[in-house]
Amino acid sequence: MASTNQQPVKGTLDELAAAIYVELVGRAFLRLENAAVIKPEAGVLAKLSYELASAFKTVERAAQAASGPQNVGYNVEVRDLAGWKA
> What would the pLDDT profile of 62-80 be if each residue is shown by its tens digit?
998 888 777 677 777 777 7
28 pLDDT tier (thresholds 50, 70, 90): confident
Which residues make Cβ contacts (< 8 Å) with residue 40, sequence separation at least 6?
Answer: 28
What is the model's pTM? 0.59
Which residues make Cβ contacts (< 8 Å) with residue 30, sequence separation at least 6?
Answer: 36, 37, 38, 39
Are residues 20 and 47 in contact, defined by beta-carbon separation less than 8 angstroms? no
Name residue 86's amino acid.
A
Domain spans of the chain, in order of start: 8-59
Name which of 57, 45, 42, 52 is nearest 12 in CA terms. Answer: 57
Residue of higher predicted confidence among 31 and 78: 78
Torsion of CA 61, 64, 66, 67, to 10 degrees: 180
